[in-house]
Structures are given as structure tokens and as C-alpha cells.
Amino acid sequence: MKNRHCALAAILTFGCLFAQSFGSSIDGVWQGALVFGEGKIRVTFYLSPPSTGANGGAYSGAMVNLESGMASNIDVISFANGKLGLELKSTGFKFEGTLSPSGGEIQGKFTAGETSGDLTLTRDSASRSNVADEFEKHEYMIPMRDGVHLHTSVFSPKSRNEALPFLIDRSPYGWDSAAGDINAGMSELARDGYFLVFQDIRGRYQSEGQFVLQRPARNTKDDHSIDEGTDTYDTIDWLLKNVSGNNGRAGIMGISYGGWLTEMALIEPHPALKAASEQASPADMFLGDDFHHNGAFRLSYGFEYAAMMETGKTNKTFEFKQFDTYDWYLKLGPLSQANARYFDGQRPTWNNFIAHPNYDDFWKGQAVQRIVRSAKVPNLNVGGWFDQEDFAGPWRIFAASETPESRQYNYLVVGPWNHGGWFSGAGRTLKNLDFGSDTGDYFRKNIQARWFAYWLKGKGPLNLPRIELFQTGSNEWKAYDQWPPSGVQERRLYLHASNAASFEPPVESDAFDSFVSDPHRPVPYRERPIPETYGGSPGWSTWHADDQRFAESRPDVAIWQTKPLESDVAVAGDVIADLFASTSGTDSDWIVKLIDVYPARVPVDPPMGGYELMIGADVLRGRFRNGFEKPEPVAPNEPVEYRVDLLSHDHVFRKGHRIMIQVQSTWFPIIDRNPQTFVPNIFEAKESDFQAATQRVFRSRMRPSAVILPIVN
């Protein structure tokens, strides 16, 4: 849920770049790559010319990481005598470079924590986009019904020949980069003509009031109660009355936290709110988004997010003082040490994690899919197959809105993107994957722009499929009117001896594979070293596309795979892992991965030879096998059936590929360590509670472990 436009498909703003003798030559678009050791990250910088003359003129701009999409605002930018300096205080990122005499290149070096390397930027005037220059920026402190004022920036087109609607984006992450957002990811919308509205939510950055992380929906019986929905309502009401030239309509959109804010605005919508686009919104923070997955706590994400958001009104990244956070979290020990050694009980979100270890009213009150009502406002739900933060959210929100009253207004788009990866950039590649077309451009031009133009400006016809998914494997866009689509048959892919998997059921009477799970030596969720989540280091935003070969050789990871497929196998629908397993402990986590194994040799793309691409993966905490409200210990060494929901997928396993299943019981530090000894609250577990356990996964006639695949006939 981090980053206003969610992870690295967003932008880093050049907030205070002052032009002097070389100022006129640095505006435009710059391409480059962060080079460190054997690593390389391609980046694009968008620089807009000064809009005012104060202090020599302040530039605005953005940095887009083309590999993953992550972004953070730049705090300090200096430019004098051809020397450019950038600093991100929250992440420790610094860059110093020199502009060439021709003005076409900037060469320099960067540091980010313990990572350092070279960065050369080359001007790319052909792709220049400065559409934000065609807007005037006005700032307001808009009053809410309880007297709190929210800081709001309104970008108005300098030239317009018709009344225009408002398009609103609300965020807890600040809006220094609003002009860069317009240039990098909203240019199609900007050219269509809208009042573009960017607002700090209460208690964050320049807005008044108290910040509450995911403030619960208000009590409608209390006329004086407020929530994010009432703040949106009051904002729209004020804009309609105070910004001239509007057409009486408003839309709202947002990614991640902004997507959740969009959903909250739909609970009691303003009559003028005519269109919305929830994008990568979390739906349920206990069942399957940022903070927990099926009851298992997402440690590195939850710890670092609480530290970042609740240190002050602006973001501040936690200082680890070492590069490999796997090692840092392991040395932290039991979760009780977080408050004892770092937080001192001063982070409300962390304290809520401790106080609410089960699925109680606290979590249910935040769960959007439990409070969303029959849609009164058309909503375009957007997600990414490789979203490392909120993949489940858009699916659950879409499903909850599939009522007879709202179905006609309920739309869904899912593409081959990571968290927010559709916001800017071409969207053709992600890490080693090439999707064969510019999927991001396609979404912004052919779906998003048409969506808002139809509902807010009356321009159409809309002519969009209600469900449009990018089918990975085949690399084709598919249109559906229902999900799962018709013509799908569930088939079980069974586990067999000798690490084999097939669609034939097992015949053995008593067979299993076993491994030892040791919480003192957990399986890393990606290849080490694992940098901090929000420090700008590579890896976090693309780990769902990582090659999984790093894990298969570990003795605490069990694997099974098919023979090379004789024909394509298309999967469309919800994938369920049905495990029969036992543990020698009294609690256990079960992590299941569904993997597409490429042939050993791929002539058209040699680096993909043998690649193990994770199509779906998730965890179930054993104590919640019978329900998330009341945890129960597991009987030692007794086989138990566990059903792990790997969520929806639309993927083709191509002929010659293999289908692999990996099972493990640790996934660190993205998931906290299960002590494997039942305790009422893992946040209060002692070091002595953490014990190694022998795990068995059964593959017999009576206990036929399998992954249930919805296969298209």
C-alpha cells in the first residue's frame, strides 16, 4: 500500500531544482540506468521547466524505474555551474552528476544505503511530455464538516472551451510530484481536459487533523461522525461551489491507499460523483493484502510501513544500518522485541497488530468487501498479476460488487503489472519477462481515458468489456462477462513420488514426502541479500516475477513437477491448493507456490531457459485452518487437510513447459516466523517457543494432496 502511485511505476519528484546558467537545458526527458556491480536498473527522468521565477525558478519532474515502478519524493535538489545534486533523506539516496557541455548528457554516481554505482542520463527529446505546463496550479485549504481543513491542489487547464469535470486523487503520501504525475502517467487524461485535483488526507503533509491509518467507516447514526468518505463528499461539494467552469460532475481515482480512499468515497457518495476507478486497493488487511495473508503476518512490510507512516506527518524510512534485512529481522528475534528495542509503544499501527492477532471486529471494520454496498457509481477495478502488495484487493472488491443492482457498473481490468505498474511507462517488460506489447500504454489510452471521458464528459460510446484480463503465457488480452468464464473444468494436479506431479490420482495407500522446518533458518522469500522494502533498493517491487530456482535446492522446500506438457494448458479462475499434511509441532505455516517452468533452452529468449516463474503463491497459518476468528492448536503428527487459496489467475502453461508445485513452511521476512509451538498470540511469543518441526505432505489414495486448477476446455 506504499507510495501514492504504488511502488515503482510511480515517480520521484524534483521538488526544489533551481536553474542557473544551465537551467534552460535540463528540462525534458532523460533515459539512464543505475549500474551497481552486476546489477542494472533502467530509469527515466521527466523534468519540466520552471513555472515561476521565484528563487531562479523551480523545476518539477519525476523518476520512473522501468524495471519495477517504485517512487519516492526527492527532498533536496541543487543545480549550479553544471553540477546536479539529488538527495532523498528518507531513503539515503544521493546522486551527484555533471551536465555535459552539449547539454545532452549527465554523468555521475549514486549511493543508496550500502549500494553505490554509476548513473549516466541521456536526453530523450522525442518522448518529451510537459502537458502539466498547460495547467495552472491553485492551492486551497478546503474546510470539512468538523472544521478541519485539507490541503488541496487544483490544476486547471489554461485553455478550455467547455465546462469540465473534476478528477480527484487523494493520498497520505504528499503531492510535491503532482506535476510530474501529470506528465508521467496522466498525460492522456490531462489532454482530454479535466480539473485535476490532488489532496492530502487529514493529518498528513499539509492537511490539518489527526491521521488514522485506514480510518474505519463512520457510524451513520452519529451526524457528527467523519471518515474518508465524508471528507471526499465535503471536498466535492466545495469544489462545485468554488471552482468556476465545472460541469457539475466529479470522478475519483487512486492506486493502493488511494484506491482504498476511492472505495471509501463510494459508500455514501456525493450526488455529483459519477465515476470511480479503484486501483490496487487493499480489501481486507487480515485475509489477503498488505499486513496479513490468511492470518499470517507480513513482517517486513508491516514493520517498515508502521515505521514510515507514524513517525510524523511525512514519510520517514526506518534506518536498518545494514543491507540484508533477512539477517536483521532474524536477529530481532520474537516480535515482542520490536516495541522493546525500537518502537517504545509509540506506533499505533504496530500496537494494533499486537492487540488484534485474530480476525476480530477491528479488522472486519476496515474490510472494504464487507461494507461495500450496491454500487451507485460506476467503478473500474484495476489490478496486476504480479502485484507484490495488493493483488487480492481488486478481485475481492469486484466480487463483492457483483450484485444484480450493481453488476452493470462493475468493471475489472488486470494486466501483467506489479503494484501500480500501469500508472506510467510502456508496460512491455517486468524484470526478465517480455509481454510482447505496451500493456501500460494500452490501458491508459484505450481503457482508463475512455472510462472517465464516457462517464464524466458524455463522450463515447464506452464499448469496453466488463472484464478485461491480460492472459499471461499467451500474452493476449481477453474479454469476459463473468468470472470464472464459462467452459472451465476443475482438474486436480496430484503430487506423486520422485518429485512428480500429474493429473492421475495416486494409488499408494500410505505415502508422503517430508522436510524439517526450522524457524531459526527460514526460507527467504527472495534471493538474498534482501534490501529494505522502502529504501529504493532493487527487488521488492518485482519479486513476484523472480526466478524461483533459488529455493528449490533447499532441503526445507518440497517440490513436484509434471513432465514437459504435450499441449498448452490454459487456467482461468480460482486456484486452490488442497494439502493433506502433518507437523510434529502444534502450529505451522503452509506456503504453496504454483510455478511455470520454462524449457531448459529458449532460443528466442536465452535468459529464460529453465526459468521458474511464480504464477500464484500464498500462505495459510495452520491455527486458522477452521476459521480466522478463533485460532486452534494443531495435533502433533496428525494429518490435517489445509486449503490454501492461491486466488484467481488467467495463464497458459505452454507446450514444452512444466507445471511445478513448491511447498514450504517459512517465507522470511515477508511472513513472520511461526514458532511452530502454539501460543495464543505470536506477537507475544518467547524465544523458547520457536522450535524446529518435521513436516509431512501426504500423497496417498486416502490423502491425495493436489492443486485444483480451473482448466479451460
Confidence (pTM): 0.88
450 and 506 assigned to the same domain: no
539 and 473 assigned to the same domain: no
What is the tens place of the pLDDT at every residue in 463-508? 999 999 999 999 999 999 999 999 999 999 999 999 999 999 999 9
Q: Which CATH number do you get for residue 39?
A: 2.40.128.120
On whether residue 452 sits in a domain, the answer given is: yes
91 and 169 assigned to the same domain: no
Contacts of 383 (CB under 8 A, 6+ apart): 279, 280, 390, 391, 393, 394, 395, 412, 413, 414
Which residues are registered as beta bridge partners of 39?
A: 36
106 and 201 assigned to the same domain: no
Q: Can you say whether residue 637 is alpha, beta or left, with left for phi > 0 and alpha for psi between -120 and 50 degrees?
A: left
Report the C-alpha dihedral over residues 355, 356, 361, 367, rounded to 10 degrees: 130
Strands (E) located in 202-307: 246-255, 273-279, 292-293, 296-297
Number of domains in the chain: 3
On whether residue 494 sits in a domain, the answer given is: yes
How far is Cα 613 from Cα 345, in angstroms, rounded to an integer?
A: 40
548 and 428 assigned to the same domain: no
Residue 303 is predicted with a pLDDT of: 96
185 and 170 assigned to the same domain: yes
651 and 523 assigned to the same domain: yes
Nearest to 3 by CA among 60, 61, 70: 70
DSSP-derived secondary structure for 278-289:
EES----TTTBS
Residue 253 is predicted with a pLDDT of: 98
On whether residue 320 sits in a domain, the answer given is: no
Averaged over successive runs of 10 residues, the pLDDT of the chain (713 residues) comes to: 46 30 60 70 70 50 59 71 78 83 86 81 65 96 98 97 97 92 93 97 97 93 95 98 98 97 95 98 96 97 93 88 95 96 95 98 91 85 98 96 90 97 93 95 97 97 96 98 95 98 96 98 97 82 96 97 98 98 98 98 95 98 98 98 98 98 98 98 98 98 98 92
On whether residue 549 sits in a domain, the answer given is: yes
Per DSSP, the three-state class of 20 is: coil
Q: Which CATH number do you get for residue 161?
A: 3.40.50.1820
144 and 122 assigned to the same domain: no
Q: Which of 480, 504, 523 is the last residue of a domain?
A: 480
Q: Are strands 379-384 and 273-279 parallel, antiparallel or unpaired?
A: parallel
Nearest to 220 by CA among 401, 371, 379: 371
For 86, the domain range is 7-127
Q: Which of 424, 451, 480 is the last residue of a domain?
A: 480
Q: Are strands 17-18 and 149-157 parallel, antiparallel or unpaired?
A: unpaired
On whether residue 695 sits in a domain, the answer given is: yes
Q: Which of 480, 512, 530 is the last residue of a domain?
A: 480
Q: In this structure, is the dihedral angle defined by the CA atoms of residues 96, 116, 10 and 106, taken in order, positive or negative? A: positive
Q: In this structure, is the dihedral angle defined by the CA atoms of residues 54, 313, 147 and 145, taken in order, positive or negative? A: positive
118 and 174 assigned to the same domain: no
On whether residue 299 sits in a domain, the answer given is: no
Phi (first) and psi of residue 122, to 5 degrees? -120, 135
Q: Are strands 410-415 and 379-384 parallel, antiparallel or unpaired?
A: parallel
492 and 463 assigned to the same domain: no
Contacts of 341 (CB under 8 A, 6+ apart): 332
State which H helix or E strand residue 108 sits in.
strand 105-112
> 84, 96 in Cβ contact below 8 A?
yes
174 and 207 assigned to the same domain: yes
181 and 257 assigned to the same domain: yes
Residue 20 is predicted with a pLDDT of: 32
Number of neighbouring beta carbons within 10 Å of residue 529: 15
What is the tens place of the pLDDT at every residue in 572-591? 999 999 999 999 999 999 99
Q: Kindly report the CA angle at 117 between 111 and 121, in degrees rounded to 5?
A: 100
Which residues are registered as beta bridge partners of 471?
A: 476
* 704 preceded by a cis bond (ω within 30 of 0): no
On whether residue 311 sits in a domain, the answer given is: no
Which residues are registered as beta bridge partners of 394?
A: none
On whether residue 301 sits in a domain, the answer given is: no
Q: In this structure, is the dihedral angle defined by the CA atoms of residues 187, 188, 192 and 196, taken in order, positive or negative? A: negative
